[in-house]
Amino acid sequence: MTLRRLLRRTTVSGLAAGIVSLLLGRGNASARDDSPLQVREGIETVSLPPPETDGDVAVERAIANRRSRREYAATPITRRELSQLLWAVQGITDPESGYRAAPSAGARYPLEVYVVVGDPGVDGLDAGVYRYRPEPHDLALSARGNVQAELRAAAVGQEPVGRAAIDVVICAVDERTTREYGERGRLRYVPMEAGHVGENLYLQAEALDLSTVAIGSFRDRRVRTLVDASPDCRPLYIYPVGARA
Ligand SMILES: Cc1cc2nc3c(=O)[nH]c(=O)nc-3n(C[C@H](O)[C@H](O)[C@H](O)COP(=O)(O)O)c2cc1C
């Protein structure tokens, strides 16, 4: 593995981000002058527009129209749409308590959300792997470059994964829930929560006139490595999302 590849695969911590910037000879850590990447406390982040909480599609209409859609237009989605999708998945809806858009047993919030951005996947955003951070409602860059082909291979070659603008990968840190609920947490509560999150994503995509499909068939370890998740993070779902074909 080359040094550049090693650095690209390194989860960006404060120190690593600084070293990457220095080694790649950039004053700031963004790849392009117009890139929205900012370095905050040594982490490369992308801010997201505030989510809408008052859309004009009735929830009944979104439920009635929801379908698994596996064809996508070859156009990027917008940062506003990405923001809305991530908010629906794990956004904080009550800042005082920290409660989120989807329910969680004991409010343990075991789910981590990664976004694999294609090329071009999101307007103005470089291809790469990003981790959603609910509290600041932003993205932290994990790795640069388009890994959609590898992710598709890990998902037993399923074409939607490689063709979508982005792939949202839902992983679970079981321990956050099993600490409280033991094995029942791992077997029941955590997968149930992934289901809640997945339905929110389906309905939000429908309301935005985007297309998505739940993907449950993939090689766990390969997906985990690709999104640079920690070894205790178990991938549960991949959701390719793209503009309607
Ligand atoms: C847990 C789960 C795993 C799934 N895995 C896949 C998958 O790997 N590939 C795929 O194309 N669809 C997958 N689907 C989508 C189903 O095929 C789809 O929901 C079903 O055909 C019903 O269609 P509908 O979602 O349009 O109502 C999965 C759905 C669920 C709930």
Atom of ligand 1 nearest to the CA of 155: 8
Residue pLDDT, tens place only, 4-42: 433 444 444 334 444 443 443 333 434 455 678 888 778
Verify whether ligand 1 is closer than 6 Å to residue 97 (CB atom): no
How far does the centroid of ligand 1 lie from the alpha carbon of residue 211, in Å? Answer: 13
Verify whether ligand 1 is closer than 6 Å to residue 154 (CB atom): no
pLDDT over 70 at 228, yes or no: yes
Residue pLDDT, tens place only, 100-121: 999 999 999 999 999 999 999 9
The fraction of the chain above a pLDDT of 70, given in percent, is 86
The protein residue whose alpha carbon is closest to atom 31 in ligand 1 is: 214
User: What pLDDT does 157 receive?
Assistant: 98
The protein residue whose alpha carbon is closest to atom 1 in ligand 1 is: 216
Verify whether ligand 1 is closer than 6 Å to residue 221 (CB atom): no
Residue pLDDT, tens place only, 42-100: 889 999 999 999 999 999 999 999 999 999 999 999 999 999 999 999 999 999 999 99
User: What pLDDT does 29 receive?
Assistant: 39
HEC string of the chain equals CCHHHHHHHCCCCHHHHHHHHHHCCCCCCCCCCCCCEEEECCEEEEECCCCCCCCCCCHHHHHHHCCCCCCECCCCECHHHHHHHHHHHHCEEECCCCEECCCCHHHCCCEEEEEEECCCCECCECCEEEEEECCCCEEEEEEECCCHHHHHHHCCCCHHHHHCCEEEEEEEECHHHHHHHCHHHHHHHHHHHHHHHHHHHHHHHHHCCEEECCECCCCHHHHHHHCCCCCCEEEEEEEEEEEEC
Domain 48-243 has CATH 3.50.30.30: no
Q: Taking the domains of the chain in order of start, what are their residue ranges?
A: 1-43, 48-243
Of 71, 200, 215, 219, the residue with max ligand 1 atoms within 8 A of its CB, to mutate for a pocket test, comes to: 215
The protein residue whose alpha carbon is closest to atom 11 in ligand 1 is: 215
What whole-number distance in Å separates Cα of residue 17 and Cα of residue 21? 6
Verify whether ligand 1 is closer than 6 Å to residue 68 (CB atom): yes
